[in-house]
A and B are shown apart, each in its own frame.
Chain A
Amino acid sequence: MDSLGAIYFISGRGDVLIQRTYRDDIDKNIPAAFRTNVINSKSLDSASTAPVRQFIGSSFIHLRAGSVYLLAITRTNSNAMMILQFLSKVVDLIKSYCHGDFNEEVIKANFVLIYELLDEILDFGYPQISEPAVLKSLIFQKGFVLESTKKKREAAAQNATLQVTGAVGWRQDSIKYKKNEVFLDAIETVNMLMSAQGSVLRCDVQGRVVMKCFLSGMPDVKLGLNDKLEDVTFHPCVNLGRFQAEQVVSFVPPDGEFELMKYRCTGEEPWPWPGQGINLPFKAVVLVTEKGRTRLEVSVKLKSSFPSNLFATNVIVLIPMPEQTARANFQLSTGKAKYDPKRGSLVWKIKRFAGDAEQSLSASVEQIATTREKKAWSRPPMGMSFQIPMHSASGVRVQYLKVWEKSSYKVDKWVRKLCKSGDYHTRF
């Protein structure tokens, strides 16, 4: 199975920002074909928007990141999953070199760096080393390196080859910190879809454990979690065999920040037995009644079901309205609300929402009378966004976090939790 033949970075207008060809017979007309068939395509059905397609005898696999397309071309039966995962990794990699940004300007400003990276991370179209931490020991971030330190680093880079291809490729053993610290953030995204009748059609929690390790030497870290996890995926540094045998997350961490693991929990709401399934932080009852041709009555009751000593912050409720909405009058128990014509929704903002509390909104909405026959309104679901610090919707708990290093230094450990909304929708 061959791999990718060429990679293109293409702007939203269809201009080629970067191109690197790895195989011989790649058609010169690829950017034009991509512009015509993907970027400027008028049809919006699934066949003409799919990310894997074939034109002019080549297979086009693209990933959209913001306004930029990453396009991989292959002419053989390549591993499409690997190519897409790789493109996604390239975006992450460039972000990690460019302070978290990825857009047309950043790519243009760093094109030399990106060419250098593309030379290193792909060889003959086969993905090679793509770990930012490792690459940074080979390819130095631009504009920040003095000539003298650069010499030193280049000398060090000569020795880096053993390490980047080795079994613990993600860490150098010469790291030293005065103060050894570990930060662990468990960030959970709750997705929910509730029917108009109040039954939960879908809910799941996507969790990420992000660590920041400032540890000297080659530390062994062990993390114990309660057995709540359904599907877990780990950073390459985690010993998967050990997890399977003993359920212990054991690893030698890369230096600095990295995503240790991702997990997913599903399950119905656990109201009778806390600790099972997912605790949905908010539930809403939404009623929208059409009063005649030009008026709507909206009533929303929003109830929080996390512990009362916690707070949700930046709660935003979006209630979609029909196109011809003109204005709305509100009665609120808390927060601020307005009709936002740009989003076509009533927007209700609550800065702080206590746990185990209930708030309500009622609004009367006026619409512009039209002579045209009204199109049926599809009633898109009500959306919500929020953040709840120190809450876990899945009930995952960190039972212990142990760091062991041969010099047995003291380590400061910090554990935080954050629960935030993903697709949080209530139909009405």
Chain B
Amino acid sequence: MADGRFFSTTKKGEVAEYKNDLHSLDRKSQKNAVKRVIAAMTVGKDVSSLFPGTHNVVNCMQTEDMELKKLVYLYLINYAKTQPDLAIMAVNTFVKDTQDPNPLIRALAVRTMGCIRVDKITEYLCDPLQRCLKDEDPYVRKTAAVCVAKLYDISAEMVEDRGFLDVLRDMVGDANPMVVANAVAALAEIQASSSGPVFVIDGAVLTKLLRALNECSEWGQVFILDALAAYTPADSRDAEGIVERVAARLQHANGAVVLSAIKLILHAAKYIEDAGARAAIHKKLAPPLVTLLGAEPEIQYVALRNIDLIVQSVPGILSHEVKVFFCKYNDPIYVKTEKLEIMIKLADEKNIDQVLLELREYASEVDVDFVRKAVRAVGRCAISLEPAAERCVNVLLDLIQGRVSYVVQEAVVVLRDVFRRYPGRYERVIAPLCECLEALDEPEAKAAMVWIIGEYADRIDNADELLEQFLEGFPEESPGVQLALVTATVKLFLRKPSEKPQALIQLVLSYATQETDSPDLRDRAYIYWRLLSADPDAARDVVLAPRPVIEAAADGVDPALRAELLGELGSLASVLHRPAAAFTSAARLAVRRASQLGAGGVGVSRSTSTAADEAGGTAAGGSAGGSAAATPHVPTPPAPVPDLLGDLLDLGGADADAAAPAPTQAPTTHAAAGAPDVLDLLGGLSVSNGAVFGADAGRAAPGAASHLPVLLAAEAGKGLVIRGGVEREAGGQLAYQLHLENAGAGVPLDGFMIQLNKNGWGLVPQSQTIPVPRLAPGASASARVPLVQNPASATPALTPALQVAIKVSQLGVLYLADAVPLAALLREDGRTSPEAFVGEWQALPDAAEQARTLPLVIHAVPAAQASLEAARLFVMAHKSVPGAEVLYVTGAAGLPSGQRAQLLLELRFVPGQRGVATVFKAQETSLAPAAFDAVAAALS
């Protein structure tokens, strides 16, 4: 029979009916009556009058039936406070139960007594508790351990007087892991509300806890791991020991165990001196962090908020995992938002194309709020990642041209920040922006647009007409837009002091000084008016001063707070990104106040980043808003006084012409480094891998093919001739250059794809698609496949061998073997200092040394130096010894992990004579043959 029916009684007189049943001697009807009482209690009915004759409760308590006993106890816990007499009547039964032969009943009694916060009961609790703490049964002991914390909450003195704290401390060494875990939880809680040292974790306690950790329940593991985070390792070795012992927890199915283990490991790692060992530990944390995202969305949310903190504190820990944070179509919005936040933080030069492609996709979703965040994310990438700014701006431009109103508005707002970050660089965006003025109806977007028009008034031919459009509705605009309009009109007038701007400024200033009610607006207008009439040159100096460039790294949690939160991973503070003190003490106050007033339900929700973001964004129009929006986690209070001051400070002092950048600068200087972006722009930017790389291929094509070796001849390649090799391009981008010729397949070929097997350098193609058009018989094409290094695709041995597979729709998969030239991996920043060179040379053991005489002729040192350095082999020193010249050369190869392998070389030769005695020395001895090849290639 289901218990659900107890919920459905609504008829009158039911209370009387319960009473009858409760008085009944029949067990069954008695039990049913208690169930009904509990059900009524659950739905909020007052059933406290139901046990008038207290003997009934005691009668029920004395039952043998555990179920009935537990139900009555539940009733007592709920009503003991309002009916202390009831509780007192029950005391004897409780005390008797704590001596029951059945350990379950002993534990139940002591557990329940601890929950009844009535002084009389508490007095009687101490003796049974003392007994239960020493009980022979671990189940009773673990219950008693928690009960000490309950008692401490009611009366700290009683716990101290009875010496329960010492007993608890002894229990940390109990043979039963669950007793240990509960003792730890109780001690940790008591410590938190006590000023003295209650629970000091020293070496001995540490050993006990680590031992219990392996055996106790998942929750017990969390208690212990959380408690251990308060331990300060004695030295580096101690810390390493902790990490080693705790690392196995990373594989636990329970995410809370995993996250607490990560917290402890990050804490211990701080005390490890060897940076290499620390990096290795951090690397171990990436997979478990990612695994946390496999759970329910609510758990994912907590994990993501914590990952956000971790990636800010340990950059690079998840740098290869950005894809994991791509949003799924059906993720809840709160998960999407957090993923977006982490994507922005993980975006780097290697993955930015992928990230942008993804953000572009989000911008076409239906959820307006999310779309706006995606657009904003593109802007934030542009601001924080200078090398990719061009590409980000192109995406924004593309979005603007989509003409979806809210997308355009959001894009305008972020573009204003981009302009402030890179003044004068992206003016080509202004024209398309001006075409969508009519789409702007939100104050923030309008203010941003007005700011842009004012700032670039001399670049926009019809700036006066555009501003005039906005000015038509001036009286109805929101204060932010009005302020922006006043400033922009003044800027316009100062930049183009002609007739129309003069008329506009008179209109605006007279309205703002005479008709408005807003004191801010009026004050600002007066300041401008006086400035302009007193000294126009001074006005120019003040209003058109160059603005300080906004900072990129300002988004995120303040470093000091972050360090604090990192020690509390998993906690509420780490989820809310607020210090614990901020909400726990406030919470206590609020509850007290609410109970004093006898009222509640006043939702004071203080959401974290988003609210601050909005506040910052709308706080002020014009430039003040600009800087606020770029630092979204610092809420700018929309108070009038700081706002005005902010704007005035903004007006610093310098010459307008000096500050004005050349309008054509951007396209020309960026053509070399960012050719694909310019092509993108021309190609209308239907951003797809194929399109972008296709453009690249076009650039690489002419002449590039001739020097590439044949990797697969026509007969082996079923009619396809493949030439290719790994090369390093200017700027350090690695790419697989390919030249494909349809020499005898007889049919047109298409659908080219490439994949690399795991290899020593961890090279993987950025995209599997080879951007070549369909190849008719006899046709050929060149292509470039950008490569990135990924440690996950690296074999342990650093060998140059590279297995390549090329798939063609018509031919299937073709396999070929290639080798990665070391030269391609040598970094532009491979130079080291002469001291470091000598130091390292001496530090390396003889086993790291290899020598070979290369069949080369060097005629003159300067020429040799130039050709070596062109190959990123840097000459550290040149020495003339009797009968020979010696060059000390270094270079650094980029390892898949992102670290570098520093190579040291000594070249000894007689000018003009064949034979260069080369000595190689490096940690990575396997690189010697490749290094000799690289030297030979550079000098021949």
Contacts and interface: CB of A to CB of B under 8 A. Distances in A.
Do A and B interact? yes
Interface of A: 1-3, 15-19, 21-22, 24-25, 27-29, 32-33, 36-37, 44-59, 61-64, 74-82, 84-86, 88, 105, 108-113, 115-116, 119, 123-124, 126-131, 138, 142-143, 154, 157-158, 161-162, 164-167, 169, 191, 193, 195-202, 204, 206, 230-236, 240-241, 243-244, 259, 261-262, 264, 266-269, 271-273, 276, 376, 378-381, 423, 425, 427
A28 B600 contact: yes
Contacts of B767: 199
Closest 4 CB pairs between A and B? A57-B590, A272-B805, A29-B600, A161-B139
Given A165-B142, A243-B248, A264-B290, A52 B591 contact: no
Interface string B58-70: 0000000011001
B844 interface: no
A425 to B, nearest CB: 6
Nearest to B256: A82
A190 B620 CA distance: 48
30 contacts: A16-B43, A47-B334, A48-B607, A49-B332, A49-B334, A51-B301, A52-B575, A54-B604, A55-B604, A77-B584, A84-B299, A88-B296, A119-B70, A128-B142, A158-B101, A158-B103, A165-B142, A165-B177, A197-B688, A201-B326, A201-B357, A204-B324, A231-B290, A243-B248, A259-B253, A261-B253, A267-B792, A272-B807, A273-B805, A381-B329
Contact of B604 (A56, A131, A267): A56
B206 to A, nearest CB: 17
Interface stretch (B146-154, B271-279, B521-529): B146-154
Contact of B570 (A46, A79, A112): A79
B927 interface: no
Nearest to B107: A161
A85 B769 contact: no
A295 B601 CA distance: 52
B374 to A, nearest CB: 12
Contacts of A24: 117, 153
Nearest to A56: B600
A211 B357 CA distance: 42
B735 to A, nearest CB: 17
Interface in B35-87: 35, 38-39, 42-44, 66-67, 70-71, 73-74, 78
A131 B104 CA distance: 17
A279 to B, nearest CB: 13
Given A52-B575, A116-B67, A161-B140, A105 B43 contact: no
Nearest to B142: A165
B251 interface: yes
A52 B302 contact: yes
Given A33-B601, A164-B139, A240 B589 contact: no
A191 to B, nearest CB: 8
A427 B255 CA distance: 32
B583 interface: yes
A236 B217 contact: yes
Contact of B39 (A46, A88, A111, A138): A111
A16 B115 CA distance: 22
Contact of B769 (A33, A115, A198, A272): A198
B29 interface: no
Given A52-B575, A196-B688, A197-B769, 15 more contacts: A25-B591, A29-B594, A56-B604, A76-B572, A85-B295, A108-B3, A116-B67, A126-B182, A126-B219, A161-B140, A169-B217, A231-B288, A243-B251, A272-B755, A272-B813
Given A47-B607, A57-B586, A234-B252, A80 B572 contact: yes
A271 B813 CA distance: 9
A199 B326 CA distance: 15
B404 to A, nearest CB: 6
B217 A115 contact: no
A53 B608 CA distance: 10
A162 B252 contact: no
B576 to A, nearest CB: 7
B217 A244 contact: no
A202 B326 contact: yes
A58 to B, nearest CB: 6
Contacts of A84: 256, 296, 298-299, 302
B189 interface: yes
B575 A80 contact: yes
Contacts of A378: 364-366
Interface in B859-915: none
Given A46-B333, A379-B364, A126 B223 contact: yes
A195 B686 CA distance: 13
B605 A37 contact: yes
B754 to A, nearest CB: 9
Contacts of A241: 214, 248
Contacts of B71: 112, 115
A229 to B, nearest CB: 10
Given A51-B301, A82-B219, A196-B688, A76 B251 contact: no
Contacts of B803: 272
A390 to B, nearest CB: 24
A351 to B, nearest CB: 26
B591 A27 contact: yes
A303 to B, nearest CB: 12
Given A46-B610, A206-B294, A79 B571 contact: yes
Contacts of A195: 357, 688-689
B226 interface: yes
Contacts of B252: 233-234, 236, 240
B600 A27 contact: yes
B832 interface: no
A76 B142 contact: no
Which of A51, A57, A116, A243 has the largest count of B CB atoms less than 10 A from its CB?
A57
Contacts of A129: 178, 217
Nearest to B333: A46
B253 A262 contact: yes
A123 B688 contact: no
Nearest to A422: B328
Given A28-B600, A271-B807, A44 B369 contact: yes
Which of A81, A154, A169, A427 has the largest count of B CB atoms less than 10 A from its CB?
A81
A112 B769 contact: no
Contact of A158 (B39, B104, B260, B357): B104
Contact of A425 (B222, B249, B329, B369): B329
A25 B593 CA distance: 12
B130 interface: no
A126 B219 CA distance: 8
A46 B330 CA distance: 14
Nearest to A161: B139
B768 A268 contact: yes
B7 interface: yes
A191 B290 CA distance: 15
B288 A167 contact: no
B42 A18 contact: yes
B155 to A, nearest CB: 13
A77 B690 CA distance: 50
A268 B764 CA distance: 10
Contacts of B287: 230-231, 264
Contacts of B758: 276
A104 B377 CA distance: 41
A332 B755 CA distance: 33
Contacts of A236: 217-218, 252-254
Interface in B460-480: none
Contacts of B576: 52, 54
B176 interface: yes
A29 to B, nearest CB: 3
B89 interface: no
B179 interface: yes
B219 A128 contact: yes
Given A124-B114, A196-B688, A199-B769, A240 B4 contact: no
Contact of B222 (A79, A119, A261, A273): A79
